[in-house]
């Protein structure tokens, strides 16, 4: 017992000693931690003092750091209120549910594919064809990470970065660019198969770099910022380091411009790449002679090298897992053929005739189905306005003056180049030259954007046109102001330099008429066309619901009618100006002859050949514009009446929308035109009454639609008879004529639909008892009595995507 008590006392003493030692150790650690914390606080820069009434600033850096230090690497902090939207916005890295690049450590395997293994000629052909398909997928809009960078051969060349090219040539540096890096010079001997594949890969990368530069140099839009991975600056072929620092990669909706900061040989000479392709052709010949390659395989490789050379000459951390996008070979071949055809056709825009033919060239080219790819559309932009030189040969002033002379100011003193030579500030010609230059500077950005807008995809084009309407509204207001100034200066000009009464000629002004205002008339005509395009693209893009088609076609009818009226006004002033020029000639001749009777010199012979040609072209353009606007007016009126009749007879019923309102829907559809003062939007209730025509019998609505269809068909026939110069479709008359014929077919289909509905309505009315007709005093509002069913087709199944003609089928 005493021994046990002694043992217990010893244990307690030892435990007490152990506790004392632990306490001392903990105090020591605590002192060390406090000492380290004091040192860190002394080294940390002092925070700025924030003084604000009612705000108390608290430094939470230490607490945040301490809390973050308890997290394990890769651990994600979430709670129940962290929504999916917030998760995507925060870009949760390393969360398998949110980060596609997160791969568990146990499933991460290194790629053991040997890029330097021996290849057969057939294997090289297959690899080149695979790269060919991947390149087309990239042109279709898929990112490089899902297309070309999925090839181990392309990735081997680009990652790690090739050495920078030593001046003055990059051939020595390109010689070191291979699938396997770090080889000694004596080990750089390549097999013929690897030489061919390497040459093709280098030319392909250079081609992609050139395409990227062309697209980013033109107007295209961003749908996501540049994705910058854990690469070091890989600008090996960019001489300036600041190029990487200022690199902002923009993306258009149908094209991914993200290169992941990988160099695409942008600054490498094309001649160097062509020399490598030429060496590859020699390697093919060596493979046949020394390695026994089959002749057909050698011919296939040579053909692929020739294609790459031809296409190339015609062109002015780790990667995250990603799905591979590779179209089938037959599909890729078809798309490549169309790609090359579109590229060859795009060069035809350089054949300039006059501005309206140029605009029709762009309109018809971009309306092709399928639409040309983004590189081709960027190429068209480059050809149009590269370095502010139109088509590489014309000045901006010449293009705008040609357009003004064609539309609203033929043979006008406003466009006389002699005005630029006048230096006297009080001379009216000096004022005219100054004001016209100011107008060009104000109007050209909006004018050039019309061409650039149509080089976008169709959805982006409509959005840009909606914004461009506001710009053209401003241009019209500026033009009205400048018209007044120019008019005041023109009124001071004498009728002739050599004598005659001081009657203004180019003012287009008569004693009983208002001034012509050619600048604002030109701007207003373009604004009306933009408004029509916005509505018509809405039909093509299926923006409007079937029950909204009647209202939108009615609004399109209103716009086209206004364009007809405005074109008639411009034509009347053009004819008045022509007569004024002819009356002016006798005074000029009497002044030159010395007072002799010059009355006989009147008529068309009084005009110079240049003036005669200017008035002839302008009147011809106005006639074509009137025909085109009349077709739109009549056909839109017919379709509006047809859809109204279908809704009133309930063959095409309006769906119930308990959570919507007609006024709100009208406000949404007309939002692009809300800021336009002229033509002003009608109120929603007045517009609804105009569309429904509740006080007009259905039979009368259909009769008006049939009459409008007849006018549209006559207009289409007249347009189809126009030649390329008369239609202002020089160098694009085939595409323009095909579009006109499609509109004609749509008009014929509309007439057949109207006639079918008329027959059904007449038959149903004949079966009704006397006084039992409905539908506003005519027709029948019972769809079963009409025995018709209506189907609204999609735009791709219509004769023309802007004219959606319903299909009526009889029912039992």
Q: What secondary structure letter does DSSP report for 145?
A: G
In sequence order, what E strands does 122-269 have? none
Say how many C-beta atoms besides its own lie within 10 A of residue 782's C-beta: 15
The one-character DSSP state at 44 is S
Q: pLDDT for 669-685, tens place per residue?
A: 999 999 999 999 999 99
Per-10-residue mean pLDDT of the chain, 812 residues long, equals 50 52 48 53 54 71 88 74 62 58 57 75 86 86 82 79 48 67 63 84 84 77 35 29 29 57 62 68 73 75 68 43 71 89 92 95 94 91 90 93 95 92 90 94 95 93 95 96 91 55 41 76 97 97 95 97 97 92 62 39 64 94 97 97 94 87 92 93 94 92 96 96 95 96 97 94 74 48 72 95 94 74
Residue 272 to residue 168: CA distance in whole angstroms:
12
Match 């960078």 to its residue by tokens.
149
Q: What is the pLDDT of residue 89?
A: 56
Secondary structure of residue 415 in the 3-state scheme: helix
**DSSP letters for 416-447:** -GGGGG---TTSHHHHHHHHHHHHHHHHHHHH
Q: Which residues neighbour 812 within 8 Å (Cβ) at sequence distance 6 or greater?
A: 787
CA distance 74 to 102: 10
**What are the φ and ψ backbone dihedral angles of 803, each rounded to 5 degrees?**
-125, 100
Is 249:264 a contact under the CB 8 Å cutoff?
no
Burial zone of 710 (CB within 10 Å; 0-12 exposed, 13-18 middle, 19+ buried): middle
| b/e per residue 64-98 (b: at least 16 CB within 10 A) | eeeeeeeeeeeebeeeeeeeeeeeeeeebeeeeeb
CA nearest 646: which of 525, 806, 418, 472? 806
DSSP 77-135: ---TT--HHHHHHHT-TT-TTT-TT---GGG-------TTS---HHHHHHHHHHHHHHH
- b/e map 360-369, b = 16+ CB within 10 Å: bbbbbbbbee
Q: Give SS3 for 530.
A: helix
| pTM of the predicted structure, to 2 decimals | 0.74
What pLDDT score does 285 carry? 75
User: Quick one: pLDDT at residue 497?
Assistant: 40
**Per-residue burial over 119-152, b = 16 or more CB atoms within 10 Å of its CB, e = otherwise:** bebeebbebbebbbbbbbbbbbbbbbbbbbbbbe
Per-residue model confidence as pLDDT tens digits over 710-739: 999 999 999 999 999 999 999 999 999 999
Q: From CA 515, how far away is CA 486, in angstroms rounded?
A: 11
Q: Which residue has the tokens 């390695």?
A: 291
Angle, vertex CA 785, rays to CA 779 and CA 791, nearest 5 = 90
Residue 112 CB neighbour total at 10 angstroms: 5
Structure letter (DSSP) for residue 737: H
What is the model's pLDDT at position 313? 47
Instruction: Output the furthest CA–CA distance in the chain (Å, rounded).
Output: 160
Which residue in 462, 637, 635 sits closest to 538, CA to CA? Answer: 462
Tokens describing residue 17:
């000693």
Q: Label residues 573-596 b or e (16+ Cβ within 10 Å = b).
A: bbeebbebbbebbbbbbbbeeeee
DSSP 612-670: HHHHHHHHHHHHHHHHHHHHHHHHHHHHHHHHHHHHHTTSSPPPP-TT--HHHHHHHHT
Q: Radius of gyration (Cα) for the chain, nearest Å?
A: 37
Give dist(CA 794, CA 570) in Å, integer: 38
| DSSP characters over 751-774 | HHHHHHHHHHHHHHHHHSPTT---
Q: Hey, how many other C-beta atoms are within 10 angstroms of the C-beta on 270?
A: 15
Q: Which residue has the tokens 């140029």?
A: 358
What is the pLDDT at residue 597?
38
CA atoms within 13 A on the CB side of 600: 2
């Amino acid at each position: 017992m005493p021994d046990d008590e002694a043992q217990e006392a010893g244990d307690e003493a030892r435990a007490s000693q152990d506790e004392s030692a632990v306490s001392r150790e903990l105090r020591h650690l605590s002192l060390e931690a406090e000492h380290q914390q004091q040192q860190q606080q002394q080294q940390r820069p002092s925070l700025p003092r924030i003084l604000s009434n009612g705000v108390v600033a608290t430094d939470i850096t230490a607490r945040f750091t301490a809390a973050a230090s308890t997290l394990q690497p890769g651990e994600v902090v979430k709670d129940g209120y962290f929504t999916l939207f917030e998760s995507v916005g925060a870009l949760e890295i390393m969360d398998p549910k949110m980060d596609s690049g997160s791969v568990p450590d146990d499933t991460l395997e290194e790629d053991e594919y040997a890029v330097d293994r021996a290849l057969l000629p057939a294997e090289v052909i297959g690899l080149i064809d695979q790269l060919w398909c991947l390149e087309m997928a990239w042109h279709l809009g898929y990112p490089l990470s899902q297309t070309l960078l999925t090839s181990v051969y392309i990735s081997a060349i680009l990652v790690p970065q090739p050495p920078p090219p030593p001046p003055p040539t990059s051939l020595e540096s390109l010689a070191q660019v291979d699938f396997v890096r770090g080889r000694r010079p004596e080990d750089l001997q390549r097999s013929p198969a690897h030489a061919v594949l390497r040459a093709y890969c280098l030319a392909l990368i250079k081609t992609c770099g050139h395409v990227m530069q062309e697209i980013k140099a033109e107007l295209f839009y961003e749908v996501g910022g540049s994705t910058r991975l854990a690469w070091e600056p890989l600008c090996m072929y960019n001489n300036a380091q600041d190029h990487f620092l200022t690199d902002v990669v923009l993306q258009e909706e149908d094209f991914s411009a993200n290169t992941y900061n990988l160099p695409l040989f942008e600054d490498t000479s094309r001649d160097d790449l062509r020399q490598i392709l030429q060496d590859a052709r020699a390697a093919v010949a060596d493979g046949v002679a020394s390695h026994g390659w089959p002749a057909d395989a050698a011919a296939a490789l040579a053909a692929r090298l020739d294609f790459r050379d031809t296409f190339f000459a015609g062109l002015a951390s780790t990667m995250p897992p990603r799905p591979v996008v590779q179209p089938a070979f037959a599909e890729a071949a078809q798309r490549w053929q169309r790609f090359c055809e579109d590229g060859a056709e795009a060069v035809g825009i350089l054949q300039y005739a006059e501005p309206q033919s140029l605009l029709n060239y762009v309109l018809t080219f971009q309306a092709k189905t399928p639409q040309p790819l983004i590189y081709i559309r960027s190429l068209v932009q480059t050809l149009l306005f590269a370095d502010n030189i139109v088509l590489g040969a014309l000045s901006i002033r010449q293009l705008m003056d040609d357009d003004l002379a064609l539309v609203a100011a033929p043979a006008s003193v406003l466009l006389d180049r002699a005005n630029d030579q006048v230096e006297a500030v009080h001379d009216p010609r000096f004022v005219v030259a100054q004001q016209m230059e100011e107008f060009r500077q104000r109007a050209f950005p909006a004018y050039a954007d019309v061409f650039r807008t149509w080089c976008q995809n169709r959805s982006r084009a409509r959005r840009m046109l909606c914004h461009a309407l506001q710009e053209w509204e401003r241009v019209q207001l500026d033009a009205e102001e400048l018209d007044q100034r120019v008019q005041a200066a023109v009124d001071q000009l004498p009728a002739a330099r050599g004598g005659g009464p001081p009657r203004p000629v180019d003012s287009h002004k008569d004693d009983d008429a208002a001034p012509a205002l050619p600048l604002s008339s030109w701007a207003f005509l373009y604004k009306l066309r933009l408004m029509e395009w916005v509505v018509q693209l809405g039909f093509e893009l299926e923006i409007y619901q079937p029950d909204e088609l009647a209202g939108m076609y009615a609004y399109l009818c209103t716009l086209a009618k206004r364009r007809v009226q405005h074109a008639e006004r411009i034509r009347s002033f053009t004819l008045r100006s022509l007569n004024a020029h002819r009356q002016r000639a006798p005074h000029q001749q009497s002044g030159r002859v010395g007072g002799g009777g010059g009355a006989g010199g009147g008529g068309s012979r009084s005009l110079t050949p240049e003036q005669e040609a200017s008035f002839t072209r302008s009147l011809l353009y106005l006639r074509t514009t009137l025909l085109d606007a009349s077709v739109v007016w009549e056909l839109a009126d017919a379709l509006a009446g047809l859809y109204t009749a279908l809704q009133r007879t309930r063959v095409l019923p309006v769906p119930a929308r308990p959570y919507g309102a007609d006024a709100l829907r009208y406000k949404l559809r007309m939002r692009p035109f809300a800021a336009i003062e002229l033509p002003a939007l009608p109120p929603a209730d007045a517009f609804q009454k105009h569309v429904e025509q509740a006080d007009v019998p259905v039979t009368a609505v259909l009769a008006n639609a049939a009459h409008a269809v007849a006018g549209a068909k006559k207009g289409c026939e007249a347009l189809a008879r126009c030649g390329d110069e008369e239609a202002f479709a020089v160098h694009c008359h085939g595409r323009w004529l095909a579009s006109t014929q499609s509109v004609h077919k749509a008009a014929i289909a509309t007439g057949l639909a109207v006639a079918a509905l008329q027959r059904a309505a007449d038959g149903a009315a004949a079966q009704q008892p006397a006084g039992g007709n409905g539908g506003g005093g005519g027709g029948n509002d019972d769809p079963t009595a009409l025995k018709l069913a209506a189907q609204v087709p999609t735009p791709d199944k219509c004769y023309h995507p802007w004219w959606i003609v319903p299909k009526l089928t009889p029912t039992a």
